[in-house]
Amino acid sequence: MDLTKKQKKELGRILVAGALLLLIGGLALGGVLPGVWYVRLPLFLIPYFLVGWDVLRSAILNVAHGQLLDENFLMAIATVGALVLGEYAEAVFVMLFYQVGELFQSVAVGKSRRSIAALMDIRPDMARVLRDGEEITVDPEEVGVGEILVVRPGEKIPLDAVVTEGRSELNTVSLTGEALPRAVAVGDAVISGCVNVSGLLHLRVTKEFGESTVSKILELVENSSLVKSKAENAVTKFAHWYTPAVVVGAVLLALIPSLITGDWQRWLETALIFLVVSCPCALVISVPLSYFGGIGAASRQGVLVKGGNRLEMLADADTVVFDKTGTLTAGSFTVTAVHPADGVARADLLRLCYAAEGNSNHPIAQSLREACFAEEIEELTADDVAELPGFGVCATVGGKRLLVGNAPLMQKEGIAFSVPEEIGTVVYVAADGKPLGSIVISDTVKPDAKQAIEGLRVCGVRRTVMLTGDREESARAVANALQIDEYRAELLPADKVASVETLFADKRGSLVFVGDGVNDAPVLARADVGIAMGALGSDAAIEAADVVLMDDCPSKITAAIRISRFTRRIVHQNIAFALIIKAMFLILGIFGMTNMWAATFADVGVAVIAILNAMRTLKCK
């Protein structure tokens, strides 16, 4: 067992106190020690204070600060009461076994934290940067955008960048959970946290460290434990009211029967047993530990969850709504058809598109540029270029007002077009209000998209819906291929939000939205659970989302739901187990059918079993 220095010290203290208890108890049972209290009490106080001084100190400090009722207070009152009643060995044993349980809890929580830390061990320690022709080593936070990094085989990529020299393979398992290496070459974007496997790479930094992928991931994981689930908040509120109720109940249990029967010894001891059994540590520790473990298990699968409440809501997933482009489809478009208007040459149509879309990062714009490069079309210069989110691009080319965009843009401008027969995304081109032609661009469905939809059905998700700005024919083809229950096409960003609002009326559990683009950010924020495709997704989508898929595989949604439901099941098991066992021992204690030794086993044993059960969430796949 891997213990910290502090935990080893605690273990040593427990072992010494336990040995003293056995020695003194053996002498007492053997009749070696006189039976008078002034001989036995001082001897038993030695192991008692050795193992319990910190509990007593915490109880006194908490009382001084107005925090009267917690587990330290309960254990202090119970053990001091046992000493007063002359049950010296029981008092020491209760404190000893309580500390054993506390040590076990500390080890369990530490193991969980180390497991997650190991999974997320992606923060680079240094960066090699070229400055004035020399290679120097600096802290990643000191590297600016545009500087050139040198990354050797076996080293972590410290910042998000683009490859300028070299070819290699990257190990992305810490980020995505994907074991297969990813090949990169000149011009490819790489993200921080990946490990360079084979070749020497020169990289041009595209984001400062604070904005890099590794920094955002670490921030998400660190903050996830601060966002509590409903179950965690309920346990906190329960403990807030439960402990005072237990203390009042113990006082009444000691007083009322004693006044009636006159048997003060028995009912005081019963009240102390009541206090020991009632200690709520099993719930207070195991429920947060379960969610912490669930978040860690999801991280190992390349799924970042921003808190226990998001994990809990994901377990109730009933309706899953997908954006199409970049989520269910690869987002890697290719030009499949060009339809120039009468009197317009194919090359001129492509040239105008290239001029307007030259500075856009949209996947459709990239496919248009690639088509122009492939046909070696001469470049034109565009002025006053303005992106129209959800519609397209407006620019001035050769003194003419050029529009490149979708059908709603043309309808808005009152320009009539004929719709191509080919299935795909259609880009319309017009100049000074006159149609110049259209270009059809096709996307491909992601390899695991169908597996994702099938997996959701197996998980019990009742309804799957696809939303897209594409035309009806393209949306229908993708929905039919993936067997999605419903689809809605030709939507603007505002229309997506409105569509989600209508879906809220018919949901029975949580509504989950999965998207990747800037236009999806409002919907991600509106959904009960927003899931962003992280590796290729926009910063705005990742910020708005509750869950981030690091490898852009929609099938990971099924894994996230499975982990969330397993975690919730563990939480419910622990709550039910702890309450049932405690209730049973409380009833047995009231009727005098148990003692302090059994009560201690009931309290600490329940806590240990609940913690062991909670740690199963770390291994969920």
Type of residue found at 158: P
- H helical segments located in 158-199: 173-176
Q: Within the chain, which residues score under 70 in pLDDT? A: 1-2, 66-70, 108-123, 173-180, 216-240, 281-282, 358-363, 373, 376-379, 517-519, 534-542
Tell me: the pLDDT tens digits for 464-492? Answer: 999 988 778 888 888 998 999 999 988 87
DSSP-derived pairing of the beta strands 510-515 and 317-323? parallel
Concatenated DSSP letters of 537-567: S-HHHHHH-SEEETT--TTHHHHHHHHHHHH
Model pLDDT, residue 176: 62
- Average pLDDT in the chain: 81
**Catalytic site positions:** 323
| C-alpha to C-alpha distance for 350 and 289, rounded to whole angstroms | 58
DSSP E strands in 406-525: the ranges are 425-431, 434-442, 463-467, 486-488, 510-515
Inter-residue contact 490 to 457 (CB < 8 Å): no
Which domains can be identified in the chain, with CATH numbers? 144-207 (2.70.150.10), 309-327+446-556 (3.40.50.1000), 334-442 (3.40.1110.10)
Q: Note whether 158 and 121 are within 8 A (CB).
A: no
CA 139 to chain centre: 28
| Pair 99, 76: CB distance under 8 Å | no
Q: What percent of the chain has pLDDT over 70?
A: 86
- What pLDDT is attached to residue 458? 92
pLDDT at 116: 56
Say if strands 529-533 and 392-397 run parallel, antiparallel, or are unpaired.
Answer: unpaired
Instruction: Dump pLDDT digits (tens) for 326-355.
Output: 788 877 777 888 888 888 888 888 888 878
Kindly give the interhelix angle for 213-224 and 281-300, rounded to the nearest 10 degrees: 160
What number of other Cβ atoms are within 10 A of residue 614's Cβ?
28
* Euclidean distance between CA atoms 82 and 95, whole angstroms: 11
* Per-residue model confidence (pLDDT) at position 148: 93
Non-local (6+) Cβ contacts of 294 within 8 A are: 305, 308, 311, 563, 564, 566, 567, 617, 620
Q: List residues bridging with 163 in a β-sheet.
A: 203
Phi (first) and psi of residue 535, to 5 degrees: -65, -40
The model's pLDDT over 251-284, given as tens digits with 9 standing for 90+, comes to 888 889 888 888 888 888 888 878 777 777 667 7
Q: Which pLDDT value is given to residue 419? A: 82
- Cα–Cα distance, 58 to 564 (Å, whole number): 36
| pLDDT for the residue 112 | 59
153 phi and psi, to 5 degrees? -55, 135
pLDDT for position 139: 86
Taking the C-alpha atoms of residue 101 and residue 259, their distance in angstroms, rounded to an integer, is 36
CB-based burial of residue 461 (10 Å sphere; 0-12 exposed, 13-18 middle, 19+ buried)?
A: buried
